[in-house]
Amino acid sequence: MRPNLRGMVKDSLAAAIVAALLAVPLLGFHLSGSAQGLTLDYRFGWVAIASLAVFCGRLALSLAGTAVGRSLRRRRQVVLPLSGRPSRIRPAVGWALVAVALLLPWTPLADRNLIDKATLLLIYIMLGWGLNIVVGLAGLLDLGYVAFYAVGAYCYALVSQQFGLSFWLCLPLAGALSASFGVLLGFPVLRLRGDYLAIVTLGFGEIVRVVLLNWQDVTNGPIGISGIARPTFFGLPLLASVPGRTTFHEFFGLPFSTDHRIYFLYYLILALALATNLFTLRIRRLPIGRAWEALREDETACRSLGIDPTKTKLSAFALGAMFAGFAGSFFATRQGFISPESFTFIESAIILAIVVLGGMGSQIGIVLAAVLLVGLPEWFRDLQQYRMLAFGGAMVVIMLWRPRGLLASREPTVRLAERPATLDAAGEVLP
């Protein structure tokens, strides 16, 4: 097949015109402050460079794309593997990742900085796994997930400050409060689907943020809450010295180090995240988990099979929100300070991107996507302003290369060795 050069040039020209239109307000005008106030500079040279770059890039992509595109398309056709035989590789990869995560603080690579970043990464992995219950399993698009994260964080911050309850008591409390907020959101959106569901959940996320911002008496508004209690190691504070109490390093006879807290927080979030993962893996095999997946595939069929869609959807919202609440309280205790700034829409978007990019419903895919979307930008902070450019570029590449997510294929929840064995097994259960 000969490449259609004229079509490609036309297409590239169109792209260049769009780029020019966008570049005029973005690059063409530049406000700079001077002694006389603000002055407006015109930088139309930049606009020209930008549109030229887009033209050349697009043309190059089209020329390269005829060859690459064909191989991509061929790969894309493999959507449903013919045999549903579960792979043995994926659980092995999962266990290997768990081992790496457990041993990471003991490797020579580990320093404060790395562990701190790994902790942040694990928060997002946990949020991704939590949102996966709502989006990946139940198929309910939720753009306001960060609201539950915020509820959990504020719940811990306020309860621990007002009533002096410890982290371990606040954790279930925060989870329960977030879950009830999940039900609160769930009720009005029961009948909504797709775009409409997305808009309402987006609005819900904003409502929570705006309330936190303006309910000054309780939340301290934009100033936020500081001095949030740090977690204790089963009652032993991880501080240099606390009058009247034994601290962690005194109890174990270690020299005091602030690293202890960092490492403890790392293991804490690792445990929380793994609990989320374990919960999801288990519940997928239970009737309620299967009902979520069935609901995502065909709501009408579900109803005619006797599944109550109201209960099913609300439970997905509630449980997804609960894990965000746990993660939120962890976030609050780790930072020691929270403000509505931390719970903006972009957080929801990143968590959703992790779930979608990971391949809806895939637990390991979410880990990979979180590393890609949160880990890499953290490690490459040196790139500074080009960070977001690289981020956007990576997203585009992934969506071209794997339009259904990094790990798109779904594992059946029931594994059986051989077919005749199942029939026997079924017979044995009979009384």
Partner 1 sequence: MLSITGLYSGYGHIEALHGIDMELAAGEIVALIGANGAGKTTLLMTICGKPRASQGSIRFDGEDITDWPSFRIARRGIAHAPEGRRIFPRMSVRENLQMGAVAGNQQHFASDLERVLSLFPRLGERLQQRGGTLSGGEQQMLAIGRALMGRPRLLLLDEPSLGLAPLVVRQIFEIIADINRSHGVTVFLVEQNAFHALRLAQRAYVMVNGRITLQGSGSQLLADPAVRAAYLEGGHGVATPPAEPAP
Alpha helices in 188-258 (DSSP H): 194-214, 216-219, 248-252
For position 302 contacting partner 1 by CB under 8 A, the verdict is: yes
Does 56 bind partner 1 (CB under 8 A)? Our answer is no
Among 87, 166, 246, 422, binds partner 1 (CB under 8 A): 422
**34 membership: H or E segment, kind and range:** strand 29-34
Give the β-pairing of 29-34 and 37-42.
Answer: antiparallel
What does the DSSP 8-state code read for residue 109? T
Distance of CA 367 to the CA centre of its chain: 9
- CB proximity list for 390: less than 8 A, separation 6 or greater: 377, 380, 383
Q: Do 61 and 16 meet the contact criterion of CB atoms below 8 Å apart?
A: no
Q: Which of 293, 371, 402, 404 binds partner 1 (CB under 8 A)?
A: 293
297 lines the binding site for partner 1 (CB under 8 A): yes
Spatial contact of 163 and 333, defined as CB atoms under 8 Å apart: no
Residue 231: both structure tokens together: 């977690």
Query: According to the binding rule CB under 8 A, does residue 66 interact with partner 1?
Result: no
| Smallest separation (angstroms) from partner 1 to the CB of 237 | 48
**Residue 363 structure tokens:** 């637990």
Q: Does 338 bind partner 1 (CB under 8 A)?
A: no
- Minimum distance from CB of 191 to partner 1 (Å)? 12
Q: Least Å distance between CB 187 and partner 1?
A: 16
Decide: is 304 part of the binding site for partner 1 (CB under 8 A).
Answer: yes
Are 411 and 392 in contact by the 8 Å Cβ rule? The answer is no
Binding span for partner 1 by CB under 8 A among 251-259, 346-354, 396-404, 412-420: 412-420
* Residue 87 found at the interface with partner 1 (CB under 8 A): no
Question: Considering only residues 36, 77, 83, 162, which one is a binding residue for partner 1 as defined by CB under 8 A?
Answer: 83
Nearer to partner 1, 250 or 293 (CB): 293
CA 259, 263, 264, 265 dihedral sign is: positive
Q: Tokens in use for 18? A: 């769009």
Taking CB under 8 A as the rule, does residue 90 contact partner 1? no
Pick one of 90, 230, 290, 387: the residue that binds partner 1 (CB under 8 A): 290
Q: Which residues bind partner 1 (CB under 8 A)?
A: 80-85, 287, 290-291, 293-294, 297-298, 300-309, 410, 412-414, 416, 419, 422-423, 425-427, 429-430
